[in-house]
Chains A and B, each alone.
Chain A
């Protein structure tokens, strides 16, 4: 491509006198996720006072709200990527319940090895996510509507299939089936247990009567959260696919006219979102040892809210994966903090709604700043 360049004489470089110095602090404020980052800190400071002495910041307290954040983060990150690409997936919550069922029923009732059941559930979920995306592209209907249909279809399927095949809507006994399985702990297990035993011995963290630590290890879902967030951030900020995602959501027509495979990008993101939803569904089943058809209720809205709080524009083209993590953190801290502070937990909804409103207004402001529109 170099040789196709025009070799006219370029004027010598000079500093543009119209260029005001931008310092790193201003640059930081231009990022989509900076607001949510500040929000996390403020919220922590707030609860440090409001929930003082409640154990919220003891090891098990931290684990408690981090766990809530991690579960949401696993799905809010792909939801953010999809939103940046200009689409929504309202079937995230239903997919969590559905994938859990699809792993539990074969494992418990059909006697499949658990690892086979897990792979089956993943394959089915990703295929359905792909179909969701394919229908959005093919019909050119808003993904809002198509995935809303999937929300009902998948939730209905989870309930109907579990009743039809097992006469129950809660499948327990997965832990018994998963004993000794090599794949189940990858989603439902814990790591770093010896560290916590050591900390307990050193009296750095609380223990039960028998001396075992209150926190026995780091649940795998947290590890998955970190992995998903790191990969998503890297893809978005540094790779060609990331460029495609921004372009698809920023102006799909312009992107298409320059050869960006917009349809493929969106379908891949729908499949990836389904994959992450299934990951959460399967992790819950393996962790709790049971599947329930109503798991993941409202998670699609929580994921979208976390993405928006994290600075992603509802209209697409702008946002961040790290922001979606901050959004999930804010969610976990506020929800559990209100519990630790011993307030009526209905306040959480009020807080969430108000925060969403503030975030949307703030995002619009940032977008105006970035694009220079007035």
Chain B
């Protein structure tokens, strides 16, 4: 059997007296798109922040390629080939698109004691990768603060795809995207899987999840509420598990239609 790319066993996460995760196990295999679903505050972002090295779990084991990850910082995770698009995107508005694109992974050459950035190369890559995701940059030196919300999301995604060598983690990447960009992101996820990478995809849109997911894990209040493989569950099943299901059904009745 193939070793999973990522394996988390019985992960607990406490913030003071707040228990964000109460024993979660999770695996991601090569070439798998694993969708994480759940209501607001279910613990999805907390889990992926542990997987991407931002937090250390209060308790539990985290293995990458079968070995203890021991990430001390997001840099370690990036070095291990795990790239993440965080919910808050991780962009610095005052800095240029290029500087943001390569932040923490600057392409450099040595000049005496200095690491000089290769700006011509960086500008070119940023422009190309953004065009690939469907955004035509006016100027890669433009400050990120001048981009629209969706353009920023595309930048964060393009960056993670570019640097994610083994695992790509996307925390609600399509929440602000237009139709064309959303389908581009879903197509990306599909392509990335085709190259053998693992993808963790967090979304509130069950349709998007069903469109690309191979496996589904539903979280509720810091615990796993359900796990499915592709074809094992219908959209309704998933929606039902996402705690909003019952309310949605009632709401549909109230409004006299479907939601």
Contact = CB atoms under 8 A, between A and B. Distances in A.
Interface of A: 1, 4-6, 8, 10-11, 13-14, 16, 18-19, 22, 234-235, 238-243, 246-247, 250-251, 253-261, 313, 317-318, 367, 370-373
A247 B92 contact: yes
A11 B188 CA distance: 15
Interface in B117-150: 117, 119, 128-129, 131-132, 134, 136-139, 143, 145-146
B168 to A, nearest CB: 10
B33 to A, nearest CB: 15
Interface string B98-113: 0100111111100000
A147 to B, nearest CB: 23
Given A247-B92, A251-B91, A255-B103, 15 more contacts: A4-B161, A6-B161, A10-B128, A11-B134, A239-B114, A240-B116, A242-B117, A247-B99, A254-B88, A254-B103, A257-B84, A259-B73, A259-B74, A372-B143, A372-B146
A246 B107 CA distance: 16
A344 to B, nearest CB: 41
Contacts of A6: 132, 161, 188, 191-192
Interface of B: 52, 54, 73-75, 78, 84, 86, 88-95, 99, 102-108, 114-117, 119, 128-129, 131-132, 134, 136-139, 143, 145-146, 161-165, 187-188, 191-192
B137 to A, nearest CB: 8
A13 B127 CA distance: 10
B106 A243 contact: yes
A247 B95 contact: yes
Contact of A8 (B84, B91, B132): B132
B164 A259 contact: no
Nearest to A241: B115
Given A5-B129, A8-B191, A14-B136, A371 B104 contact: no
5 contacts: A22-B139, A239-B115, A247-B103, A258-B105, A317-B92
A250 B188 contact: no
B132 to A, nearest CB: 5
Quick one: which of A241, A261, A372 has the most chain B CB within 10 A?
A: A372
B145 to A, nearest CB: 3
A247 B103 CA distance: 8
Given A6-B188, A257-B54, A259-B75, A243 B103 contact: yes
Contacts of A261: 75
Contacts of A5: 129, 161-162
Contacts of B90: 253-254, 257-258
B145 A370 contact: yes
B53 to A, nearest CB: 9
A246 B139 CA distance: 19
A239 B117 contact: yes
A241 to B, nearest CB: 7
Contacts of B138: 16, 18-19
B92 A255 contact: yes
Contacts of B164: 4
Contacts of B94: 246, 250, 313, 317-318, 367, 370-371
B117 A238 contact: yes
Nearest to B147: A372
Nearest to A239: B114
B92 A235 contact: no
A254 B156 CA distance: 11
Contacts of B134: 11
Given A251-B93, A255-B92, A239 B104 contact: no
Contact of B104 (A16, A234, A260, A318): A260
B165 A4 contact: yes
A327 B181 CA distance: 45
A239 B146 contact: no
Nearest to B158: A6
Nearest to A371: B145
Nearest to A234: B114
Contacts of B188: 6, 8
Contacts of A258: 74, 78, 90, 103-105
B94 to A, nearest CB: 4
A253 B115 CA distance: 23
Nearest to B136: A16
A371 B91 CA distance: 12
Contacts of B75: 259, 261
Given A6-B188, A260-B104, A250 B95 contact: yes
B39 to A, nearest CB: 24
A238 B116 contact: yes
A16 B91 CA distance: 24
Contacts of A13: 131
Contacts of A22: 139
